[in-house]
Amino acid sequence: RNNRLQEKTLPWSRYISKAAAKAQLDYDYDGPLMKTTVPGPRSQNVGAVNFFCNYDDSRGNYLVDVDGNRMLDLYTQISSIPIGYNHPALLKLMANPNNLSTFVNRPALGILPPENFPDKITESLISVAPSGMTRVQTMACGSCSNENAFKSMFIWYRNKERGHNSPSEEDLSTCMINQAPGCPDLSILSFMGGFHGRTMGCLATTHSKIIHKLDVPSFDWPIAPFPRLQYPLEEFTRENAQEEARCLEEVEDLIVKWRQKGRPVAGIVIEPIQAEGGDNHASPDFFRKLRGIARKHGCAFHADEVQTGGGSTGKFWAHEHWGMEDPADIVSFSKKLLSGGYFYRDELQPYRIFNTWMGDPSKNLFLAEVLNVIRRENLLEEVARSGKALLDGLYDLQAQFPGLLSRARGQGTFCAVDVCDAATRDRILLQTRDKGVILGGCGESSIRFRPALIFRDYHVHLFLNIFSDVLAHNK
């Protein structure tokens, strides 16, 4: 599969950037600067740690390690840094004495919120509420968000089954001892390859890696196939439509089957792009039909946007690409939103969802400012532009290195490409890092790109230069 001829006729040096030599962002560095291999001598190697970081010196798109290596970061703390490191707008916010007490006094938000907190949530989260949703519940992390979203769907489903909100005596007495009907045998339908977190409810819907699930008790919940599409999507529309139809049919079969075995599907949970599972895409048509199936069978529909949300697909929510007025009943988020949580339709009101912290107002303070920066600097347009440059570059590279790369795909900068095997992928990740670019792996042998929203054309070309160099050495 290693096509040496093609590699020779398309020399990697073609990627030497023609773009401006400056980063255009006054708070960014000009480029990577490597002093040692990574992890360097000052990064003690502890367990799963990649290396230790100097967050004081990190800036913009660049993460600096304790050995002074400055790396262009296309992974951004597993996709959780929205506008780069030490953004001046966030530093300025820290300098405002009016914000002090928000950091120092963490409230029990559900019972004792700060003055004007509803207004502050309206300015931040509600200003980016998904279509059809006007309500949001914050949570401390992504897993808690999905766990509580599932609970909201179960409670909603049971009230729908009852026809009213008053539980029976039997409900009340059995729930305290973990038994039906109080703790009903309801299920959540999820997809093979999906990832929704690692706490026990979430984990029962996660099917991306063995290491996540092994040895942890689970629920007998239905698992549908996620479409395995061919890329580029536009070249395989007929084949992909067939594959999606097959999966949708299976979804309906599973819903019927689980209803018959007394474990009705209360909700369907799905990522707009399966991320941990290997950046697997499906078409807007697939999601629209899946939403229709959920409605037809009376299941809630939960779009998990923990990794896709926050702008990196070129729209604030990946589900906006579906073009629906009413895309979901629940949309959960975390990572780039800086706090976990979920939006929900009125019917799924979470009066019974509660815990001590229920989020963290200091994170909302940052989020409001992040949203200001996104709007002021038109970052979603920037993402669309740099995402196109990145994907075009990946298309070129896979044409140039067909034995190494395949299936380049992406939306905005939320891109990925497959490497011929896992060992080569892992080697390429380390070599690219030693040349000053941080990437992430996902799925069996994919590389995923998760830059911050301030990733520009300039950085794309920087990256492509380095990456093509590494690929040439692995041809």
Q: Take residue 304 and report the two structure tokens written for it.
A: 């998990």
Catalytic entry in 67, 73, 191, 335: 335
| 356 in contact with a copy of itself (CB under 8 A) | yes
DSSP 226: P
Toward a copy of itself, which CB reaches closer, 26 or 215?
215
Q: Take residue 317 and report the two structure tokens written for it.
A: 């929510």
Binding mask 145-174 for a copy of itself (x = CB under 8 A): --xx-xx--xx-xxx-------x---xx--
Q: Provide the minimum distance between the beta carbon of 325 and a copy of itself in the complex, in angstroms, as a whole number.
A: 27
| 44 in contact with a copy of itself (CB under 8 A) | yes
Buried b (16+ CB within 10 A) or exposed e, 401-410: bebbbbbbbb
How far apart, in whole angstroms, are the C-alpha atoms of residue 465 and residue 252? 47
How far apart, in whole angstroms, are the C-alpha atoms of residue 116 and residue 361? 11
Q: Provide the minimum distance between the beta carbon of 177 and a copy of itself in the complex, in angstroms, as a whole number.
A: 6
Nearest to residue 85, comparing CAs of 453, 470, 469, 475? 453
Toward a copy of itself, which CB reaches closer, 22 or 160?
160
| 342 in contact with a copy of itself (CB under 8 A) | no
Other CB atoms within a 10 A radius of the CB of residue 268 amount to 28
Per CB under 8 A, the segment of 107-115, 226-234, 254-262, 312-320 that binds a copy of itself is 107-115
Active site (annotated) includes residue 9: no
Residue 276, class by beta-carbon neighbours within 10 Å (0-12 exposed, 13-18 middle, 19+ buried)? buried
Active site (annotated) includes residue 199: no
DSSP 337: G
Q: Which of 24, 170, 354, 473 binds a copy of itself (CB under 8 A)?
A: 354
Binders in 215-274 for a copy of itself, by CB under 8 A: 215-221, 223
Q: Take residue 72 and report the two structure tokens written for it.
A: 């262009």
Toward a copy of itself, which CB reaches closer, 367 or 404?
367
| 40 in contact with a copy of itself (CB under 8 A) | no
Q: Take residue 93 and report the two structure tokens written for it.
A: 């916010």
Q: Which of 23, 25, 204, 374 binds a copy of itself (CB under 8 A)?
A: 204
Toward a copy of itself, which CB reaches closer, 5 or 111?
111
How far apart, in whole angstroms, are the C-alpha atoms of residue 455 and residue 458? 8
Toward a copy of itself, which CB reaches closer, 119 or 421?
119
How far apart, in whole angstroms, are the C-alpha atoms of residue 313 and residue 320? 10
* Number of Cα atoms under 13 Å in the Cβ half of residue 184: 23
Other CB atoms within a 10 A radius of the CB of residue 245 amount to 14
Per CB under 8 A, the segment of 5-13, 126-134, 235-243, 354-362 that binds a copy of itself is 354-362
| 50 in contact with a copy of itself (CB under 8 A) | yes
Catalytic entry in 37, 134, 237, 356: 356
Active site (annotated) includes residue 102: no
Going by C-beta distance under 8 Å and a sequence separation of 6 or more, which residues neighbour residue 37? 434
Nearest to residue 2, comparing CAs of 444, 429, 424, 449? 424
Toward a copy of itself, which CB reaches closer, 270 or 397?
270
Q: Provide the minimum distance between the beta carbon of 265 and a copy of itself in the complex, in angstroms, as a whole number.
A: 12
Active site (annotated) includes residue 195: yes
Per CB under 8 A, the segment of 2-10, 17-25, 97-105, 385-393 that binds a copy of itself is 97-105
Q: Provide the minimum distance between the beta carbon of 90 and a copy of itself in the complex, in angstroms, as a whole number.
A: 5
Q: Provide the minimum distance between the beta carbon of 88 and a copy of itself in the complex, in angstroms, as a whole number.
A: 10
Toward a copy of itself, which CB reaches closer, 366 or 414?
366
Catalytic entry in 65, 67, 279, 304: 304
How far apart, in whole angstroms, are the C-alpha atoms of residue 52 and residue 266? 43
Nearest to residue 417, comparing CAs of 384, 460, 448, 386? 448
**Residues noted as catalytic:** 195, 304, 335, 356
